[in-house]
Structure formats: C-alpha cells, structure tokens
Amino acid sequence: MNSLTNLDAAEKIIYLDSQEYNDQYADRVTPGFGITEVKKHLNKLFEERYPSIDEKTEE
C-alpha cells in the first residue's frame, strides 16, 4: 500500500474494482432460479407473505 499516494487513491481503486465486479455479475442468474415456473412460484410466495399496498387498501 505504500505505492498509493493517499487514502483517497486506495478508496478509488476499491470502488472501481467493486463497480467492475458488480457490472460483470449483475445479470447472472443462480441455477434453478431462472426457470419461469420457479419465478412464478417465488413471486406467489412473496405476495402471500408481503402483500402489495394495493391489496392492503382494498380490505
């Protein structure tokens, strides 16, 4: 770390590396979760547990 001029330079390198990592893996799908049936089932479970605001106001 002695080769970096100051702490801001180190933070910038870490920030840029993390941005690159996020961009690289942003569209990655975990195996088994990209299947349409699985997505629908997970959305249904999520809605049951955390109903949307529209459904709460209708009651």
Mean pLDDT (whole number) for 13-35: 89
Mean pLDDT (whole number) for 11-18: 94
Whole-structure pTM value = 0.45
**pLDDT per residue as tens digits for the range 47-58:** 999 998 875 555
In the Cβ-directed half-sphere of 50, how many Cα atoms lie within 13 Å? 3
Give the integer Cα–Cα distance in Å for 39 and 49.
15
Give the residue extent of every domain in the chain.
7-58
CA distances from 20 to 23, 52, 57 (A): 5, 34, 42
